[in-house]
Amino acid sequence: MQIIIGRGGNEDPFSVVVPDNYTMVSRKHAVVEFTESDIVFEDTSSNGSWVNGVPVRKKNVSDTDVVLLGDKKNGFRIDWKVLKGKRDSFLNKNRIDFSPEFEVLKGIYKNYMQSSNQVKKKFKSKTSIPQILFSIAGMILFFALGQIFDIPPQIGMFFYIAVPTVAVFLFSMKQDTNAMQRELLLMRHNLAKDYLCPKCKKPLNIDLPIEILEQEKTCPHKCGAIYKP
């Protein structure tokens, strides 16, 4: 795949448009070719290009090289992230099998499920300790009230134990449930940012088990991406 770099024209998958203030950059200044194993840079201008400060006409480069067009110091610098993004978009458009990417998503989904289960267990264990402490405090309070108002022992035992236990249980359960839901919601939000089809980039259904995707073997959005687990 070749990408043309120069001033003027329209941005498309096969070109990078350089801003007009880089006056030393030609309309078709350079060509970057991505092969299976190499990146080949070729200067097609009369104003020159520099790779790591060295003037070049044609050279194998890497995405860590500093490539300047038109001027050695203040020329237009190639953004490899942009070029690689165009390359990947082109390749993905003509590609069908995305099994490696789906395997990565499978790992992300399983980590999410494990983490969410750990959060639920954490809050379940945290709930019991404050419930016990508050229940004891509630029993002491009601016992004192029973002594003050001379409540009969049979009735008092019910109020001493049952009422504070139930009240504290419901209160602490609500507090812990709210905190747990907030943490799970944040985890779900973070998953949604990454849990996308590798081809069409549309979100996958978080609520469906990953095993469903393995059975269907294709993107649910019908973009043509195939998954071969």
- DSSP annotation string for 127-180: HHHHHHHHHHHHHHHHHHHHHHHT--HHHHHHHHHHHHHHHHHHHHHHHHHHHH
Task: Compute the 3-state secondary structure of the chain and give helix, strand, coil in percent, each to the nearest 5.
Answer: 50, 20, 30
For residues 110-131, average pLDDT: 76
pLDDT value at residue 6: 94
The DSSP 8-state label assigned to residue 223 in this structure reads S
Higher-confidence residue of 180 and 218: namely 218
Q: How confident is the model at residue 90 (pLDDT cuts 50, 70, 90)?
A: confident
Tell me which residue of 75, 10, 84 sits closest to 45, measured CA to CA: 75
Return the higher-pLDDT residue of 227 and 90: 227
Of 8-17, 118-127, 132-141, 156-165, highest mean pLDDT:
8-17
Per-residue pLDDT tens over the stretch 140-197: 665 665 566 665 655 555 555 555 555 555 555 555 667 788 888 999 999 999 999 9
| Among 36-50, 102-116, 133-147, the least confident range | 133-147
Query: Rounded to two decimals, what is the model's pTM?
Result: 0.49
**What mean pLDDT is reported for the chain?**
83
Q: What percent of the chain has pLDDT over 90?
A: 51
Tokens 């959005």: give the residue. Answer: 221
Q: Above 80 in pLDDT, residue 123? A: no
Mean pLDDT, range 88-105, rounded to an integer: 86
pLDDT for the residue 138: 57
Q: What strands, in cross-sheet order, belong to the sheet with 39-43?
A: 15-18, 2-7, 30-34, 39-43, 58-61
Sheet containing 54-56, strands listed edge to edge, beginning at the edge strand earlier in sequence: 54-56, 49-51, 67-69, 76-77
